């Protein structure tokens, strides 16, 4: 809302510097955006919050100034001289949609002389950025910007007959508005119509055919109150936002409808002449009666933490337009003004008193009692994950929660349910809530490839959205990675992470076949027997789909399983008192036997003596290959907690392992 | 062999050994010297020891004593040289080949996203002030995102164009208790979490909720349709706006350092009354911190609290804005591009 300094002076004494006015208005709730000098006047742009439509006119701002400086407010009389003819003989109004238009009033002025506005009026409108058109149109704009109530002047002669109908638009109806664009004013849109057709979009914009021109003689002045929700819907639907719709959307002073009409007529009579028909046509509801509100004075310190003198409280409330009904040492009872529909409760009055009294009075150094605050297990695990991954050389990415359809379809390892869709894309084409982080990370990878960044190691911790029939979706937090390293590089990172969270946690792999991944280099992961996630190198097809040049390994695991497995408070294990003894084993065995199979035998045969088992290498030569065999080298560290393990005992364990591998896998010891 | 001859031989040996050990440039040279002088089979000390047998019987005690002294001296010289070698070259003139100014072999360290770093700092400070971190769903029903927050159906904030409603929501929400018949949407603020916590927890409550929120803003240098919010809530008996101001000041002083002051400007949020914009003094000017206010009695009632018994305050900050200001990031879209050259700056 831009206000003109000179205009504001009509209503309240301004003897302070403009900067001081701006500052105090800001501290009372009207944020100062900017001030511009326009032809010897100042256009001061103030931000008006949506609860204060009363400040969408100069009078509202002037009232705030008057309250803040303790000054009186001068209101125009709005008492136009009426002629002999009766308005009811000249026009009729029927309101057919009281749910869209609460109240409609009309006055008629005959015999006006259309011409340019006087220069004071032109200048004031210019200061706030409105160009002058002709005296009548300028006056409707002037009154709009004076009190915030939109008005419309119809050329009475251009209406088909004397009757005005306020009704809902009919399917297929169109209207050429004064912006010379044609709008569909169908169902749900409130239109002002004559006997034949809509002549205005109620509360939004007038029609071109009935607009005031040089030739206009007789006027119908509309001042109405439209339903905020209906105006908002219409403005959106037609993509037509006007100063009128802006104000009606926020809800106007129901008692101001008639005042604005009278004020408008008063100015037209003054500046354009003509004769006002006696009386007005008013249909629809009368302004609702306001209930009194009780403000208990003890509530002020309870909410604000400061005491404000009762006299000051009463002064502020009354200056703001509240009518005091009762007051004693404990409480004040007031009826709020019609233009303050936001004031309905005690707490609303407390805010009014506080903002006018000034929030500067509230201290910023009271002591607040201490309270415990615990860090959640989840927080601690997330912190560990981040430490391990950054130590492993991964950068943390943050990507959008939604992806475009192709990416959404490309990969959904957690659910077959269709993704949730937002009809409005979140960004560009991304309208599907993601069911995996991997496509987004591959997208980030591509961005980095495009920028020729040599090393792209990324992880993200974020939620995926897994739809569930008949309930809020499962929002499961995932850890996902994309690396330029191979399968085992990324597997090693995950193993290190899990070992950090709990060295005793059991990570297993299961064969898997996932979209995007190379069928020879992928697996599903289980942690302590529960599904953890997956890991694999992207297939050629997958790389192509994401337009990636370099190879990448991706993984995605469920953070909930990491939290479940984590041992957040490790328990001390007594350090061993006896020396360890090492044994290497080199087995030749069939290709089909996996490390996990061998490791299981080792663990079974060594029992408590096994301190650690280390894989060394797999070796193949032509002879082995042609026999479908491979050689596997590993070493174990054995230690007893009771005594020094002897060579003989270690050898026995080794022999037992070799024997078992021989028996179960057909493994033989290599030299 | 004459005693004098034997002793001379010992002296020569000691001098040679000490000199050689001392000048051994590296472990390899030292090992060669050790074998030359102290080798068990053919070391020079061993050779000299053989000469001891040839010394006359009367001279033997003196020769033996001297031999032991020399042996100890050579051993000591070796150990000293060894200690120097293992200490990394010792105090002797370093080899010209050694260039300590060459770069070390650095492990590659990853970087946490600056947004995460800011969130962690904010959480840590609020934790010290007694606020416990809570989280909630990003996909919400209208009760938690609007109604319980005192945002009625006709409020502009509920316009479908101001929110990301989810298209299959109607079908999804059909049989889920409180959300029956309600459409779902991506939350537009983390205050939803406050409602969920208060619904489950009797007062007092002292929490911060944080996470991703979504609003249909066109992406530009200062807007992104997804961003992070951190919101604090304190509800208890006798909580006032002075507590709010004081907590915010403690927070600002902890986060930004220095003697920061807090200023309130009246504002409007449906879920707080009074509502304020919070500014803090920073390098002699006021900068915006975020929004705050006293929890609206309607919100307290919506979660089953008695506004006559308890009061509370709430405040919210946009994490991107705090983070951008802190690191002088001029375009918040950088946060979501994930260019590793950007990420590695933090």
State whether A453 and B273 contact (CB < 8 Å). no
Encode pLDDT of A518-539 as tens digits.
988 999 999 999 999 999 999 9
Average pLDDT of chain A, as a whole number? 95
> What band does B64 get if pLDDT is binned at 50, 70 and 90?
confident
**Angstroms from B308 CA to nearest CA on chain A:** 10
DSSP conformation letters of A495-516: HHHHHHH-TT--EEEE----TT
Does residue B120 register a pLDDT over 70? yes
Encode pLDDT of B232-250 as tens digits.
999 999 999 999 999 999 9
**Considering CB atoms only, which of A236, A376, A395 is closest to B111?**
A395
Average pLDDT rounded to a whole number, residues A391-407: 97
Contact with chain B for residue A465, Cβ under 8 A: yes
User: According to the model, what pLDDT value does residue B178 have?
Assistant: 41
State whether A351 and B273 contact (CB < 8 Å). yes
State whether B133 and A368 contact (CB < 8 Å). no
* Minimum CA–CA partner of B166 in chain A: A422
Contact with chain B for residue A426, Cβ under 8 A: yes
Residue A146 tokens, joined: 């004076």
Average pLDDT rounded to a whole number, residues B155-169: 81
Q: How far is CA A76 from the centre of its chain?
A: 43
Average pLDDT rounded to a whole number, residues A4-23: 97
Does residue B175 register a pLDDT over 50? no
Q: Which residues of A touch B216 (CB under 8 A)?
A: 424, 426
- Hey, of A295, A320, A371, A393, which one would you mutate to test binding to chain B, going by the most B CBs within 10 A of its CB? A371
Contact with chain B for residue A454, Cβ under 8 A: no
What fold is seen in the domain A2-69? Phenylalanyl-tRNA Synthetase; Chain B, domain 1 (3.30.56)
Encode pLDDT of B77-97 as tens digits.
888 888 877 765 545 566 778
> What band does B51 get if pLDDT is binned at 50, 70 and 90?
confident
**Considering CB atoms only, which of A368, A393, A420 is closest to B168?**
A420
**Angstroms from B331 CA to nearest CA on chain A:** 15
Q: Which residues of A touch B248 (CB under 8 A)?
A: 364
State whether B110 and A303 contact (CB < 8 Å). no
State whether A50 and B336 contact (CB < 8 Å). no
Maximum alpha-carbon separation in chain B: 122
Return the SS3 of B234. Answer: strand
Encode pLDDT of A49-67 as tens digits.
999 999 999 999 999 999 9
CB B206 within 8 A of CB A369: no
CATH code of domain A581-669: 3.30.70.380
| Other CB atoms within 10 Å distance of the CB of residue B322 | 21
State whether B240 and A302 contact (CB < 8 Å). yes
Query: Counting Cβ atoms within 10 Å, is residue A373 exposed (0-12), middle (13-18) or buried (19+)?
Result: middle
- Which residues make beta-bridge pairs with A45? A2, A34
Tokens 């179960």 correspond to what residue? A664
The sign of the dihedral angle between the CA atoms of A145, A147, A148, A150 is: negative
CATH pick for A293-358 out of 1.25.50.10, 2.40.30.10, 3.30.56.10, 1.10.150.570 = 3.30.56.10
* Minimum CA–CA partner of B212 in chain A: A401
- The percentage of residues in chain A with a pLDDT greater than 70, rounded to a whole number, is 100
Alpha helices (H) along A239-326 = 243-250, 256-272, 299-304, 310-319
Q: Which residues of A touch B190 (CB under 8 A)?
A: none
Lowest-pLDDT choice from A16-25, A418-427, B11-20:
B11-20
3 state SS for A150-193: CEEEEEHHHCCCCEEEEEECCCCCEEEECCCCEEECCCCCEEEE
**Considering CB atoms only, which of A372, A378, A393 is closest to B109?**
A393
**Do the first three CATH levels of A293-358 and A581-669 match, i.e. the same topology?**
no
Average pLDDT rounded to a whole number, residues B221-239: 96
User: According to the model, what pLDDT value does residue A186 have?
Assistant: 87
> What band does B53 get if pLDDT is binned at 50, 70 and 90?
confident
Does residue A588 register a pLDDT over 60? yes
State whether A470 and B340 contact (CB < 8 Å). no
What fold is seen in the domain A377-565? BirA Bifunctional Protein; domain 2 (3.30.930)
Does residue B174 register a pLDDT over 80? no
- Hey, of B126, B152, B164, which one would you mutate to test binding to chain A, going by the most A CBs within 10 A of its CB? B164
CATH code of domain B114-343: 3.30.930.10
**Angstroms from A456 CA to nearest CA on chain B:** 7
The sign of the dihedral angle between the CA atoms of A163, A164, A167, A172 is: positive
Domain residue limits, chain B: 3-86, 114-343
Does residue A386 register a pLDDT over 50? yes
State whether A453 and B340 contact (CB < 8 Å). yes
Chain A, residues 117-156, CB within 8 A of chain B, namely none
Please choose, from the candidates A68, A391, A153, the residue with its C-alpha nearest in 3D space to the C-alpha of residue B107: A391
User: According to the model, what pLDDT value does residue B177 have?
Assistant: 41
- Hey, of B130, B185, B274, which one would you mutate to test binding to chain A, going by the most A CBs within 10 A of its CB? B274
- The percentage of residues in chain A with a pLDDT greater than 90, rounded to a whole number, is 95
Average pLDDT rounded to a whole number, residues B19-39: 83
User: According to the model, what pLDDT value does residue B156 have?
Assistant: 79
**Angstroms from A668 CA to nearest CA on chain B:** 41
Domain residue limits, chain A: 2-69, 82-284, 293-358, 377-565, 581-669
Q: Which value does ipTM take for this structure?
A: 0.90
User: According to the model, what pLDDT value does residue A519 have?
Assistant: 87
Which DSSP category does A257 fall into?
Answer: H
User: According to the model, what pLDDT value does residue B74 have?
Assistant: 87
Q: Which residues of A touch B265 (CB under 8 A)?
A: 26-27, 29, 31, 359
**Considering CB atoms only, which of A29, A393, A424 is closest to B216?**
A424
Instruction: Please tell us whether the domain made up of A82-284 is placed in CATH 3.40.190.10.
Output: no
């Amino acid at each position: 809302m831009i206000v003109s300094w000179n205009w504001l002076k009509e209503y309240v004494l301004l003897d302070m510097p403009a900067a001081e006015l701006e500052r105090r208005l800001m501290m009372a709730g009207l944020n100062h955006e900017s001030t511009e000098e326009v032809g010897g006047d100042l256009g001061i742009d103030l931000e008006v919050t949506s609860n204060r439509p009363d400040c969408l006119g100069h009078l509202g701002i002037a009232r705030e100034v008057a309250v803040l400086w303790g000054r009186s407010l001068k209101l125009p009389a709005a008492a136009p001289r009426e002629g002999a003819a009766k308005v009811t003989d000249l026009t009729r109004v029927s309101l057919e949609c009281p749910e869209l238009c609460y109240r409609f009033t009309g006055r008629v002025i005959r015999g006006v002389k259309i011409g340019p506005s006087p220069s004071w009026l032109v200048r004031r409108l210019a200061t706030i950025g409105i160009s002058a058109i002709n005296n009548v149109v300028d006056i409707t704009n002037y009154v709009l910007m004076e009190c915030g109530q939109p008005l419309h002047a119809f050329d009475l002669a251009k209406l088909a007959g004397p009757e005005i109908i306020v009704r809902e638009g009919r399917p297929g109806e169109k209207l050429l508005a004064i912006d010379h664009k044609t709008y569909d004013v169908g169902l749900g849109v409130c239109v002002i119509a004559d006997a034949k057709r809509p002549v205005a979009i109620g509360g939004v914009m007038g029609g071109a055919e009935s607009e005031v021109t040089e030739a206009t003689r007789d006027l119908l002045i509309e001042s109405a109150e439209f339903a905020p929700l209906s105006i908002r819907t219409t403005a959106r639907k037609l993509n037509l936002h006007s100063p009128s719709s802006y104000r009606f959307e926020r809800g106007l002073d129901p008692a101001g409808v008639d005042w604005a009409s009278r004020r408008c007529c008063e100015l037209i009579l003054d500046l354009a002449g003509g004769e006002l028909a006696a009386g007005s046509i008013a249909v629809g509801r009368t302004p609702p009666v306001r209930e009194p509100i009780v403000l208990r004075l003890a509530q002020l310190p309870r909410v604000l933490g400061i005491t404000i003198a009762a006299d000051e409280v009463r002064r502020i409330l009354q200056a703001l337009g509240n009518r005091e009904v009762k007051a004693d040492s404990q409480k004040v009872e007031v009826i709020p003004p019609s233009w303050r529909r936001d004031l309905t409760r005690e707490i609303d009055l407390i805010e009014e008193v506080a903002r006018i009294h000034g929030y500067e009075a509230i201290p910023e150094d009271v002591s607040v009692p201490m309270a415990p605050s615990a860090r959640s297990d989840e927080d601690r695990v997330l912190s560990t994950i981040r430490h391990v991954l950054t130590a492993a050389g991964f950068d943390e990415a943050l990507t959008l929660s939604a992806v475009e359809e192709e990416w959404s379809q490309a990969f959904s390892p957690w659910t077959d349910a269709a993704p949730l869709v937002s009809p409005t894309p979140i960004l560009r084409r991304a309208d599907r809530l993601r069911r995996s982080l991997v496509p987004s990370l591959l997208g980030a990878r591509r961005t980095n490839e495009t920028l020729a960044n040599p090393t792209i190691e990324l992880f993200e911790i974020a939620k995926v959205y897994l739809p569930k029939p008949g309930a809020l979706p499962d929002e499961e937090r995932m850890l996902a990675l994309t690396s330029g390293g191979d399968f085992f590089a990324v597997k090693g990172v995950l193993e290190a992470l899990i070992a950090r969270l709990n060295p005793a946690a059991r990570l297993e792999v299961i064969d898997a076949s996932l979209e995007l991944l190379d069928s020879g280099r992928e697996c599903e992961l289980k942690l302590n027997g529960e599904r953890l996630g997956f890991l694999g190198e992207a297939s050629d097809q997958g790389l192509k789909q994401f337009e990636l040049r370099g190879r990448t390994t991706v993984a995605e695991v469920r953070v909930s399983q990491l939290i479940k497995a984590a041992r957040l408070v490790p328990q001390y294990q007594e350090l061993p008192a006896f020396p360890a003894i090492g044994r290497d084993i080199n087995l030749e065995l069939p290709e089909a036997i996996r490390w996990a199979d061998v490791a299981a035998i080792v663990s079974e045969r060594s029992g408590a003596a096994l301190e650690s088992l280390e894989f060394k290498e797999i070796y193949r030569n032509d002879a082995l290959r042609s026999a479908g065999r491979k050689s596997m080298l590993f070493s174990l560290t054995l230690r007893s907690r009771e005594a020094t393990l002897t060579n003989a005992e270690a050898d026995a364990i080794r022999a037992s392992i070799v024997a078992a591998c021989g028996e179960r896998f057909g493994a033989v010891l290599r030299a | 062999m004459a005693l004098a001859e034997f002793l001379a031989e010992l002296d020569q040996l000691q001098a040679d050994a000490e000199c050689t050990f001392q000048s051994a440039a590296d472990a390899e040279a030292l090992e060669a010297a050790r074998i030359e002088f102290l080798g068990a089979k053919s070391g020079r000390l061993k050779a000299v020891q053989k000469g001891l047998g040839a010394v006359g019987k009367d001279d033997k005690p003196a020769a033996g004593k001297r031999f032991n002294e020399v042996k100890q001296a050579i051993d000591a010289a070796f150990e000293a040289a060894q200690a120097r070698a293992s200490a990394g070259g010792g105090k002797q003139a370093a080899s010209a080949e050694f260039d300590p100014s060459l770069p070390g072999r650095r492990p590659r360290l990853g970087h946490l996203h600056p947004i995460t770093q800011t969130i962690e700092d904010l959480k840590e400070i609020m934790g010290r002030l007694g606020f416990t971190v809570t989280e909630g769903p990003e996909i919400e029903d209208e009760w938690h995102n609007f109604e319980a927050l005192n945002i009625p159906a006709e409020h502009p904030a509920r316009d479908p164009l101001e929110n990301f409603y989810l298209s299959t929501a109607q079908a999804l929400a059909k049989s889920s208790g409180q959300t029956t018949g309600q459409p779902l949407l991506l939350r537009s603020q983390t205050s939803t979490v406050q409602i969920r916590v208060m619904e489950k927890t009797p007062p007092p409550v002292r929490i911060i909720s944080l996470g991703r929120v979504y609003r249909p803003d066109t992406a530009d240098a200062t807007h992104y349709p997804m961003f992070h919010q951190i919101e604090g809530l304190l509800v208890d008996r006798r909580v006032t706006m002075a507590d709010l101001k004081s907590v915010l000041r403690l927070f600002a002083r902890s986060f930004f350092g220095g003697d920061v002051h807090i200023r309130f400007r009246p504002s409007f949020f449906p879920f707080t009354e009074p509502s304020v914009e919070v500014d803090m003094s920073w390098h002699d000017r006021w900068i915006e911190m975020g929004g705050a206010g006293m929890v609206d009695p309607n919100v307290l009632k919506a979660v089953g609290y008695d506004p006559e018994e308890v009061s509370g305050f709430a405040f919210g900050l946009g994490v991107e804005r705090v983070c951008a200001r802190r690191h002088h990031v001029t375009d918040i879209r950088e946060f979501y591009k994930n260019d590793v050259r950007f990420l590695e700056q933090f």
